[in-house]
Chains A and B, each alone.
Chain A
Amino acid sequence: MILEFIERLSNLSYPLRPPGALPEDDFIDRCIRCRKCAEICPYDSIIMAHGHRGLKMGTPFIYPQKIPCYLCEDFPCIEVCPTDALQDVQDQRDVAMGLAVIDESLCLPFNGIICRACYERCPIYKEAITLKDQLYPVVQKEHCVGCGICEQVCPTNPKAITVVSAHK
């Protein structure tokens, strides 16, 4: 029963982890909650989980609606991680944090209003988000890294494009 309880506590949510993060379970095992990634992040994108995330409290995650990951060239967060919970990433395109998902009932172009916010701001420009018929944004799964910039710039409320963790 205790095991079940802990299991439940530790699986409350799958937050978006910083670049290079191991799969969720391995990440939880490795991460020692040292806060170095949050301290070094130049955009203050990385924030810390609180008690409402159960036993995941103190682990780093990104809340893209507020500040997304801007995919630094040299990934300082990965560099400072002492336990390799964040593994080396060669290139921006190799990051696999998450995947953007479009809710077509909320997305403006699908409702007859022209909007290219996510398409224009996507760092994997013209590859991760493409335009179908020059109008409708489509996420290309194999190219999207899950940085969350599209979620932040999306003008609708609630957001029509959201990023889910790659480890969900």
Chain B
Amino acid sequence: MQKLEHILYRHLNRIRRTMQWLALLFIVFVPILNVWGFHEIIGTFYSLTIGSLNIVDPSLMLQTILLSEQVKFGLLLAGIIPLIMALFFGKTFCSWVCPFNLLAEYTAKLRVKIFRNQTRSVNINPKPQVYWFILGGIFLLIGVLGTPLISYFSFPGLISAQITDTILFATVGIEWSLIIAVLLIEFFYKPRFWCKYLCPVGAVLAIPRFKNSLSVQYESKRCSVQCSADKSESLCNTACPFELNPRKTDIYPYCFNCGACVYVCQNNGGHALKFTFHPEKPIHSNHKSLKQEELYKNEPSAQTTTNLQEV
């Protein structure tokens, strides 16, 4: 088990990137198979039907209930399935599946490449209230305007629907301009603001959480000296796409379990960060000098140099 975990951590980023591309391939192949007459899997990331299993984006389910003022059992059931997944795995959909996240990650990568001397704001985890306030605002706006806003701003759905349109009708929709506009803002002004603060899909998936939800766990006594446990500019901080500090408890609801911090920590000598279903309060021991050499005696020698481009 431990060994499996070790292999998983070693290839975490690669596994995740593969998953993302497979998800993208999946939404490309669904309409292609439909054109060929295979109708067992239909839909987009707005709503997907696999055999007789019906899944609906929970944010759209809430929007439909709000706008139609009716609760239909079938719709409720279809929307609850992703919520149950999110209860155990957090916003893993966002980091491991969502095609917009894939685009945004490459945009951020390009930004790092082009604006080399970018300043990174100090990692202070924003208050959860900000996140919930924005989500509440979106739903309030939907109620006031009576307009299905989330249908336009559910980017995973929008991207998959546009791909479907292109394959079925050979058209390119104006909706892409929304996505490009957000990506341009992320590129020039504020990286990853959409996924971090605004996305209603992720926000609704962040609602279900309990004590055994998948979490990033920090253990300070295993924090490597080379990586400077006390500084704000450590590997895990720098790796986080949302500029969160994973060494604090309050990374949720912002953190989407992409594992970038866990990856750099596990592969650079420290083993302070890990994924767990049994998170505890971060273990901050006062004996930081607790013989680091002894702790890591049996483990591969710590590498001090890292290539952040690779991260």
Contacts and interface: CB of A to CB of B under 8 A. Distances in A.
A32 B57 contact: yes
B64 A30 contact: yes
Interface residues of B, number: 38
Given A36-B43, A40-B42, A57 B175 contact: yes
Interface stretch (A48-56, A107-115, A135-143): A48-56
B185 interface: no
B173 A50 contact: yes
B293 interface: no
Interface residues of A, number: 28
Given A6-B145, A29-B68, A82-B75, A36 B171 contact: no
Interface string B5-43: 000000000000000000000000011001000010011
Interface stretch (B111-119, B146-154, B238-246, B300-308): B146-154
Contact of B44 (A34, A44, A47): A34
A36 B148 contact: no
Interface of B: 30-31, 34, 39, 42-44, 46-47, 49, 54, 56-57, 60, 63-64, 67-68, 72, 74-75, 78, 145-148, 151-152, 157, 161, 164-165, 168-169, 171, 173-175
Interface of A: 3, 6, 10, 26, 28-36, 38-40, 44, 47-48, 50-51, 55, 57-58, 80, 82-84
Give me the 10 closest cross-chain CB pairs, A-B, nearest first.
A51-B174, A34-B47, A29-B67, A34-B46, A39-B34, A82-B47, A39-B42, A32-B60, A36-B43, A35-B164
